[in-house]
Structure 1
Amino acid sequence: MKKRILMLLTVALAGSGLANAQADCAREAALAYDQAKAKNYDAALPALQKIRETCPKYSMATYQYLERALEAKIDKAPEGQKEQYVEDLIEVWEQRLELYPEKTQKGKIYADIAQLKYDNKLGDEEELYEAYDKAWNEDKESFTSPKGLYAYFDLVVNMQDAGERSLQDVFDQYDKVFGKIEQEENDAAEALAPLLKKQEEGEELTAKEKKQIKYSEINLNNYSKVKAALNAKLGARADCDNLIPLYKKDFEAKKTDVSWLRNANARLSAKDCTEDPLFVQVSEALHKLEPSAKSAFSLGQLAEANGDGAKALQYYNEAAELETNKSDKARIYYRIAGNYKDKGSYGQARSFYRKALDAKPSLGSAYLQIASMYAKSANSCGTDTFTKRAVYWLAADYASRAARVDPSIASNANQAASSYRGLAPQKSDIFQSSYNAGQTISIGCWIGESVRVPNL
């Protein structure tokens, strides 16, 4: 009986101790979190570190506030005094990943760790590359940082300059990173498109939708800048003068190697290195061994260069049907659309520009081309002077959309939109017409769309 009472007392005391410990964690965490919320990081940091040590699983908020506090410390610390804070932050991220794996994206955490090391020059280029490579291999989907993706490519280029990587390694890395950026651009533009349409039609947006537009446009702008930086970094390495000798010296040995032919064909095609006989050899050899979207597209380029438009379109359509990569499919449809536009077949051209946009919603140049065709058709697609000029409003809407989904062409697109609005009816024209602001005008001929009279 005494043993039983003793055991019950032991359990009770243990439970009481656990409850007291939890109460202590809650009390100390509340104070530390308040300090962190107030950005009083000097006071918050030691308290947060203590909670992490004594109550590691109390709350994920501990790690979130520690991240903010340590980042603030790193920003303010003079050179030579940052390393300890950097190491502490890496430990915080790794512990968070260990304790809260279901609430933590591995790719993002590993990319953040790599970026922290990169920014603070911790490790040589090979070590830094391996840190980014870990993020890519562990969880590519959540490795979305524009800055991190650029660094991931930059390191390979630097190593190639130092003789530690081949030119082909640089091309392979470029394709990998560029493809990821295009995927992220497409996702952002796809989310943005219905909201822009809703906004253009004058519908009220919720606060959440406005925020979504803002963040989508910020992401599109950042990715656009990174793409430009990647191309600048790649520079002359990808010129035809470098590519052709690189592939020509290996062609005879590799002409039955489908993988090699595929890579060579894609690179030569992307840079329009179509005038050298090597391009013909590579394209025909690849299409013979493995008829594919890439080889069909290359043969279309050859036919187009030789002035055979019909044969070019035949190959381009074959390429579009075979292609599974959305960005590449958009590129093919855009090329087909351009052929029809050059012939004056605007309806056909628009159909393929829209197919390109379905595949790649961030392809702002397709919207800009549609805008251009609408503007050129203004005199043919209205019933009177006012409705003819109203076509320019529609052209301006498409040009503005081009600027918003593709910041890399925003300047030209916004200039085009402004020019089209200058050609459209002005406030005095609306006042003198039978139309009112908000009224819809149906536009005939091949355009077959409607446009709202703006409230000027």
Structure 2
Amino acid sequence: MKYLITLLGILFVSSPITHAQADTCQKEPPSGLSPLAAYSIFYENYRSGDYEFALDYGRWLICAKPEKLEGNPRFSLLTQYDRMVTIYQEIGNSKEDPTLKAAYIDTAETLLNESLELFGDEPKSRFDIIFTRGRFYQQNYNTIDNGLQKAYSDYETLFEIDPKRAVSMGDGYYLRQALNNIIDQDRTEDAQNFIDNVKPHAEGDALEFIEEKQQEILGSPEEQIAYYTPLLEEDPNNLDALRALEGAYESLDDRDKLKEIKLKLNDLDPSYDSALDLAELARSNANYNEAVRFYQQALDRATDDSQRKEMYLSLADMNINLGKLSIAKEQVQKALQIDPNDGTSLIKMATIYGAAVSQCTEDRTLEAADKVVYWVVIDYLNKAKQVDSSVANSVNQQLSTYQDVTPNSEDKFFTLNLENGDTITVDGSLNNCYSFINETTTVR
């Protein structure tokens, strides 16, 4: 049962200090006091927690509704409404009689609703009052009919007024309460509209929660595609729809559709990540020329040296696969300019020189001159291990393979006319296909 008690013309709960309200509310301060004196008594008793005594003076303030108070330039009628809500709530919660408790709580609710009517025209004030009312409903849900649902409804309204502010409140608590309630009511369309409204303002845990709920709402990738495809047809620039479809097609491993979506995202919202996604997709499809194009885009959009180094190494990989070893070497050299002691880059250079031997001897037998290149490969592997201990295991696994194919004694002394300790340059003098290497090594 609802114990509706308004402040105008309806009986207030009696106590030794509070008394029945007359048919018309008291628009003059009690006991013939001046407005400032009556307010001072109200405020001091409110501040000290003597809510029963403050109540009589507070009812006058709510009835008279003074917009200003001479002698107190900081006076705010909205603040007095907030205080009176607290007074009625605290007195009500102190009552053992459930009827009295409900009456006081009901009056506090009435004050909140009246406050919203009086001061809710401006968005910030409306937001603040509805937030206060939502918390009031949640705190007193045992006394208020359908209290929890009223609270969740108010929290939902906050996201309509100011989604950015609402998302950040309570470390996402109100976001979770509002969205969970919508989903629990099977209001799927409302839930999706809610997500579309708040997602641009979310990050971190809040964004992760929203994405989990998005999956819960839409279910399977097929259902997601069915939902978002018409939205994209209506608005081809809908980034949220594109990102949702990207995830759905990735789940289904539909590479053609996935590439189509990624291309649109890269055009509409170009970034390092969007270009890198396309490069990795092309790489996984062994489309190395296309991968080069998108790795270069990612490189152009890189924001720090770490990203740039990674893109140079990825470009080197693609050019190795394409047989463009001199270009691959240039990319690794640029990576080493950023970090001369990066073991991965040094290993990559060794890989390029090893690939040069394979490329040069593709249609012929390995000769003594070809084997000289492996000394340079070993030089780079040893340097990688020396300057970067994190790659030691990888280097050790490769070293024996290359050491087994370096020039033997016969190659050195009879074919190449070399002595241990001699210096030799690996370039076009060994074979034209090694001209791009141009590295010096020591006979051993």
* Common topology (TM > 0.5): no
TM-score (norm: length of structure 1) = 0.37
Higher-RCO chain (CA-CA 8 Å, sequence separation at least 6): 1
Structure ID, larger Rg: 2
Structure with greater proportional helix content: 1
